């Protein structure tokens, strides 16, 4: 059973730097020549960069082709259609930001190449990246993403993975419970819910993942509550999976910015999990770059936190079945 698959988007952070008067003068001089346009892509473990968005100095665009059943691969970088690159133009050197805490490094493109993603093939940029972990078979779903690639290099804020036991998990538990209860009541009005309301609302959702902007102002949460057979506790009947974005306001209290809940079969087919890639602040707005993936597909997003909502600015398929 499925219902209300409304997964949200984005979060943000403010970049700050303390610089001396002399450094400020140099920074202003450098800014004159600094490129205002850049491209971002995911870095796959097989050394492939897959561009999914480009920034032209004011707005985001998505020009690189999405994976399809079959595409011709350009023989070299000069053969890549100009329209694929966006305003930043051909990009041969990329800055890679790993999902962990390692410092960024530079990668160099060797050639365009195709890659397998779910049931389709896409075109990416094969690089000189060397993964620390073993390469899985190419048909693994989803194929591992090792980080974000940016060209030319840009400032990036890393997303904090909030560990179990953090006080923020406890503080948000009542709010998540209320969100699950409210949404599942709405689902039950539209379609048959396999679990009676009185039974399901006695079960507290378990927070499975929590991500935070470095200043702790914005959180993204994934939570679930499983429904088991009363006669056989080992037998699962359904799973409510959801979460969303929460923002900290006055008195250090968090409020929901955008949330969602799905009621799924026990295999969770249809659930989508976030892999946060980084946070950027551009033109007075804050953007969270992330991958969302599940059993049947993946997508790459640029999401903006607004005062009262989350805007999905870019959403590109990373393959699917």
Could you state, in order of their start, the residue ranges of all structural domains in the chain? 36-151, 160-320
Question: What is the pLDDT at residue 250?
Answer: 82
Q: Is the peptide bond before 152 cis (omega within 30 degrees of 0)?
A: yes
Contact 122, 319 (CB under 8 A): yes
Question: What is the pLDDT at residue 17?
Answer: 28
Residue 25 pLDDT > 50: no
Question: What is the pLDDT at residue 70?
Answer: 76
Question: pLDDT averaged over the chain?
Answer: 87
Per-residue pLDDT tens over the stretch 33-71: 344 899 999 999 999 999 999 999 999 999 999 998 777
Question: What is the pLDDT at residue 9?
Answer: 37
Residue 279: CA atoms inside 13 Å, Cβ hemisphere, count?
A: 25
Per-residue pLDDT tens over the stretch 202-216: 999 999 999 999 999
- CA end-to-end span of the chain: 19
Contact 49, 43 (CB under 8 A): yes
Question: What is the pLDDT at residue 174?
Answer: 92
Residue 157: CA atoms inside 13 Å, Cβ hemisphere, count?
A: 23
Which percentage of the chain shows pLDDT scores above 70?
Answer: 89
Residue 287 pLDDT > 70: yes
Average pLDDT over residues 153-174: 94
Residue 235 pLDDT > 50: yes
In sequence order, which residues have a C-beta less than 8 Å from that of residue 250 and are 6 or more positions away?
Answer: none
Alpha carbons 272 and 171: distance in angstroms, whole number? 24
CA distances from 67 to 47, 121, 320 (A): 17, 5, 9
In sequence order, which residues have a C-beta less than 8 Å from that of residue 182 and are 6 or more positions away?
Answer: none
Nearest alpha carbon to residue 220 among 60, 5, 13, 3:
13
Alpha carbons 75 and 108: distance in angstroms, whole number? 16
Task: Give, for 221, the enclosing helix (H) or strand (E).
Answer: strand 218-228
Give 135's pLDDT tier (boundaries 50, 70, 90).
very high
User: What are 187's strand-pairing partners?
Assistant: none
């Amino acid at each position: 059973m499925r219902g209300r698959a409304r997964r949200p988007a984005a979060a943000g952070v403010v970049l700050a730097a303390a610089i001396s008067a002399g450094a400020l003068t140099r920074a202003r001089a450098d800014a004159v020549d600094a490129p205002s346009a850049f491209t971002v892509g995911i870095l796959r473990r097989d050394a492939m960069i897959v561009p999914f968005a480009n920034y032209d100095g004011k707005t985001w665009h998505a020009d690189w082709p999405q994976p399809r059943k079959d595409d011709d691969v350009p023989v070299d970088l000069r053969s890549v259609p100009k329209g694929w690159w966006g305003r930043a133009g051909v990009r041969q050197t990329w800055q890679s930001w790993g999902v962990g805490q390692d410092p960024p490094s530079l990668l160099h493109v060797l050639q365009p190449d195709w890659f397998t993603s779910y049931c389709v093939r896409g075109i990416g940029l094969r690089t000189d990246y060397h993964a620390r972990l073993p390469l899985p078979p190419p048909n693994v779903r989803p194929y591992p993403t090792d980080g974000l690639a940016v060209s030319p290099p840009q400032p990036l804020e890393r997303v904090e993975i909030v560990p179990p036991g953090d006080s923020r998990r406890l503080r948000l538990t009542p709010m998540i419970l209320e969100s699950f209860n409210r949404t599942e009541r709405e689902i039950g009005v539209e379609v048959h819910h396999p679990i009676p309301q009185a039974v399901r609302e006695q079960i507290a959702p378990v927070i499975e993942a929590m991500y935070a902007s470095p200043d702790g102002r914005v959180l993204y949460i994934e939570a679930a509550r499983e429904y088991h057979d009363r006669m056989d506790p080992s037998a699962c009947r359904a799973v409510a999976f959801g979460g969303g974005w929460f923002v900290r306001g006055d008195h250090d209290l968090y409020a929901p910015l955008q949330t969602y809940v799905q009621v799924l079969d026990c295999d969770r087919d249809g659930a989508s999990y976030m892999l946060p890639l980084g946070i950027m602040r551009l033109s007075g707005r804050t953007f969270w770059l992330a991958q969302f993936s599940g059993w049947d597909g993946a997508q790459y997003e640029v999401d903006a936190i607004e005062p009262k909502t989350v805007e999905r600015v870019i959403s590109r398929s990373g393959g699917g079945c």
